[in-house]
Amino acid sequence: MIRKLTILSAILAAFISSCTNIPEPPTVISNSQIDLDSILKRGKLVAVTDFSSTNYFLYKGEPMGFTYELLREFTSYLGIDLEIITENNLENAYDLLKSGDADLLAIGLTVSNDRRRELSFTEPIYETRQVLVQRKPKHWRSMTEDDLNRILIRNQLDLADRTIYVQEKSIHFDRLNTLAGEIGDSIHIIAVPYPTEDLIKNVAEGEIEYTVSDENIARVNATYYSGIDVNTPVSFPQNIAWGVRRENSDQLLGELNNWIGTYRRTVGYALLYAKYFKNSRSSNMVRSDYFSLNTGKISRWDNLIKQSSADIGWDWRLLASLVYQESRFDPEAESQAGAYGLMQVMPVTGEHFGINIYSSPVNNMKAGIHYINWLKSVFESRVSDENERMKFILASYNAGPGHVLDAMKLAEKNGQSPQEWDGNVAVWLLKKSEPEYFNDTVVKNGFFKGTESVNFVEQVLERYEHYKNIVPENITLTMLAEQK
C-alpha cells in the first residue's frame, strides 16, 4: 500500500509539475502590427493602389502603370513578391492600410499636415501642383491664345461662386476650401465618390463644368481629351508620396525612404516618369479597344475565350492569362518546337483529338480546351484541393503530365506533400535536372529542366490576379455604358 501511494504521489507531482510548465501560447501578431521583418518573412508586400491611366492598368493584356512599375522595382529590390489590392475610394483605401490588410498605401497622395495625423508619408515620389480642369469653348481651334485666356478662367479670383466637383476625401477638396478663404468668397465644392480621372472625362463630355486634378495627371488626360484646358494652377508645387501606418511601420518606412531617395536619382526613374507622364503615345493606348479600364477588354479574342472557359469551368480571365502566356494573343504564333496558335498546341495533340490546329483560331482553341480537360481528368483523383490542382494542370500544360507526375512521386518519397505545388512538387520538378533525381527509380520520364514550367505557373497566376483586379468577371455592354 505504501509503495502504491508513493507511486501515486510521484505521478501527481509530475502532473502538477507539467501543468505549471505548460508553455505560453505563441504571441499572435495582428495584421496592423506587421512591419518589414514580418513582410520579408512571408515573402510578399501587399500594396493598395488605384487603377487609372497612369498608376495601374491593363493594355493589350499586360499590366502597366507608373505606380505598378515602381512597386515592382521596390519588391524586386527587397527580393519578395508583390500583391496588389485595387481601391479607387480613398476612404476604403485608408481602411485597408489601418486594418493591416495592406502594408502600403501606394496611391499618389499629396503630403499635408491633416493627412500626417492619419499616416506616415514616405519620401516624395514626385512633385506636382493642382490645376483647374475646364472645357474649352466650341470653336477653340480657330481662336487666338489671348481670346482663349479671356474666356477661360485664368485668375483664381474668378472661381468665386463657381461649382467644382472633386473626389471626396481628396486633397483637392481641402485645397478649394482653403482657396475660398484666400479669395474671400464662396466656391461651391461638391465631393463625389468618383476618381479624378472620371471627373476629368465628365468635364470633357460636358457633364460638369470644372474639376481639380494633379497637374501631371491632368496633362496626360489632356493628350486624349483635346477639348479640356489644364493651364490654370490652383496651388503651389506639392510633394506626392506613399503612405504607411503611423505605428509599427518604422522598418518599412525606413527601407522605402532609402530606396526612393536612391532610385529617384537614377536614369531608370527618369525614363519611367517620362514613359507615363511625358509620352504622347499614351493617348493612343487610352483610345485602344484593349485599354481595359475603358472597355473591359483584354484581347480581340475575349468572346472566344469566354465561350471556351465555360467548357473547362474556369474563370475566363485565367484562360486569358494562359493564352497571353502562350501566344501573346497571336493566332499565328509558332514555337521552335512546333507548337502553334493561340493555345500553342502541338500538332500531335491536335491529331489525337481529331482537330486541325492550323485551320482556325477557333479550332486551335478547341484543341487546347480538349487537352486541358484531359489534364483535369489526370489530376482530379490525385490532387484534392481545386486551387492546388489548377497549378498542376498549368504546369502540365507546359511540361506535359509525365514530368509533373514524376515530381509528385519524388516529393512523396522525400517526405513532402505530393498534393501541394509551391515549396513541394515545384521544388522536385526543378530537381529533375539533377542526375541524382532523374535517375531515381520512381522517375519514369527522365531528365527535365523544370525552371520554365515553374515560372510558367507563377506568371500565369500572377497575371490572372492583375486581370481580376481590373477586368470584371462578367462584363456586358450595359455595364460598360453605366461605367461611362
> Looking at residue 405, what is its pLDDT?
98
| Range 65-96 burial, b when 16+ CB lie within 10 A, else e | bbbbbbbebbbeebebebbbbbbbebeebbeb
> Looking at residue 285, what is its pLDDT?
83
**Whole-structure pTM value:** 0.84
Half-sphere exposure of 235 (CA within 13 A, CB side): 24
Whether 271 contacts 215, CB under 8 Å: no
Rounded Cα distance between 348 and 280, Å, is 46
CA dihedral 410, 312, 373, 455 (to 10 degrees): -40
> Looking at residue 387, what is its pLDDT?
96
> Looking at residue 281, what is its pLDDT?
72
Cell of 297: 477588354
Rounded Cα distance between 170 and 96, Å, is 17
- Give residue 254's identity as a one-letter amino acid code: G
Rounded Cα distance between 80 and 40, Å, is 7
Tell me the C-alpha to C-alpha distance, in Å, between residue 475 and each of 62, 288, 466, 478, 480: 19, 18, 16, 8, 7
Superfamily for 40-126+241-285? Periplasmic binding protein-like II (3.40.190.10)
Pairing verdict, β 130-135 and 210-214: antiparallel
> Looking at residue 481, what is its pLDDT?
37
> Looking at residue 348, what is its pLDDT?
96
Rounded Cα distance between 240 and 386, Å, is 43
> Looking at residue 16, what is its pLDDT?
37
SS3 string, the chain, reads CHHHHHHHHHHHHHHHHHHHCCCCCCCCCCHHHCCHHHHHHHCEEEEEECCECCCEEEECCEEECHHHHHHHHHHHHHCCEEEEEECCCHHHHHHHHHHCCCCEEEEEEECCHHHHCCCEECCCCEEECEEEEEECCCCHHHCCHHHHHHHCCCCHHHHCCCEEEEECCCHHHHHHHHHHHHHCCCCEEEEECCCHHHHHHHHHCCCCCEEEEEHHHHHHHHCCCCCEEEEEECCCCEEEEEEECCCCCHHHHHHHHHHHHHHCCCHHHHHHHHHHHCCCCHHHHHHCCCEHHHHCCCCCCHHHHHHHHHHHCCCHHHHHHHHHHHHCCCCCCECCCCCECCCCECHHHHHHCCCCCCCCHHHHHHHHHHHHHHHHHHHCCCCCCHHHHHHHHHHHHHHCHHHHHHHHHHHHHCCCCCCCHHHHHHHHHHHCCCHHHHCCCCCCCCCCCCHHHHHHHHHHHHHHHHHHHHCCCCCCHHHHHHHC
Cell of 426: 515545384
What dotted CATH number matches 130-236?
3.40.190.10
Which of these, 57, 56, 31, 62, lies nearest to 44 by C-alpha position? Answer: 31
- Give residue 13's identity as a one-letter amino acid code: A
Q: Which residue has the cell 475565350?
A: 305
Q: What is the mean pLDDT of the chain?
A: 91
Do 40-126+241-285 and 130-236 show the same overall fold? Answer: yes
Whether 372 contacts 378, CB under 8 Å: no
> Looking at residue 9, what is its pLDDT?
42
> Looking at residue 30, what is its pLDDT?
61
Hey, what CATH topology would domain 302-470 get? Lysozyme (1.10.530)
Report the chain's terminal Cα–Cα distance, integer Å: 90
- Domain extent listing, the chain: 40-126+241-285, 130-236, 302-470
- Residues 316-371 pLDDT 10s: 999 999 999 999 999 999 999 999 999 999 999 999 999 999 999 999 999 999 99
Residues of the chain with pLDDT under 70: 1-32, 475-484
